[in-house]
A = this chain, B = another copy of it.
């Protein structure tokens, strides 16, 4: 298994765990755990492969990815009650997955297109899309709409990896730098509430009164 493959399985496993934790928060049954785990675990990479035209998507040829999601869902099903705050755990695991997928998505985008801009975008998309799907399907407020830094951490991790490849760094070094950058930024945002200043003037009025 190459470093990037290891990163990919790690990302799938932790995102699957966040999906299963969302299922536990919604008190779904065990199949609901597996479904949300799989959608969250493989959603970002599936979207990345569709965009890049690399179909059938990655897990069709390697069902081990699906089995990882199912196994993680089962583990969470039997252990989630031991966790004091499942949402806090979900958010931290999401940060690990975001960091792994930002690099993995950028690496695949770079390999298939050679374009740094596209690679940064596929990194960002791969990292954020699984969590967006999870929140949409489970009816949680989207992590995208929270004030702390989220998308930017994925952008930064992808950009660091792409810069490292351009400067000729070995894949292992570039991957490590990318993952660490993304996780440091997202972790700081979770722990210390790091945020860009939000847009201030005023929130939007409801749509009804404006035609």
Which residues of A come within 8 Å of B, CB atoms? 22-33, 35, 38, 46, 50-53, 55-57, 59-61, 63, 66-67, 77, 80-81, 85-88, 91, 112-113, 115, 117-118, 121, 124, 128, 132, 136-142, 144-147, 149, 151-152, 155, 190, 193, 195-201, 203-205, 207, 210-211
Contact = CB atoms under 8 A, between A and B. Distances in A.
A196 B87 contact: no
B207 A141 contact: yes
B203 A25 contact: yes
Contacts of A190: 211
A89 to B, nearest CB: 9
Interface centre among A29, A128, A139, A140 (most CB of B within 10 A): A29
6 contacts: A27-B198, A28-B198, A29-B196, A50-B55, A53-B57, A91-B210
A199 B27 contact: yes
A60 B141 contact: no
A142 to B, nearest CB: 6
Contacts of A33: 199
A121 B66 contact: yes
Contacts of A132: 137
A52 B87 CA distance: 34
A56 B198 contact: no
A199 B29 contact: yes
Given A55-B55, A140-B207, A199-B33, A28 B145 contact: yes
A27 B87 contact: no
Contact of A29 (B22, B77, B195, B211): B195
A81 B199 CA distance: 9
Contact of A88 (B86, B115, B210): B210
A39 to B, nearest CB: 9
A118 B46 CA distance: 14
Given A51-B60, A63-B117, A137-B144, A85 B210 contact: yes
Interface centre among A31, A115, A141 (most CB of B within 10 A): A31
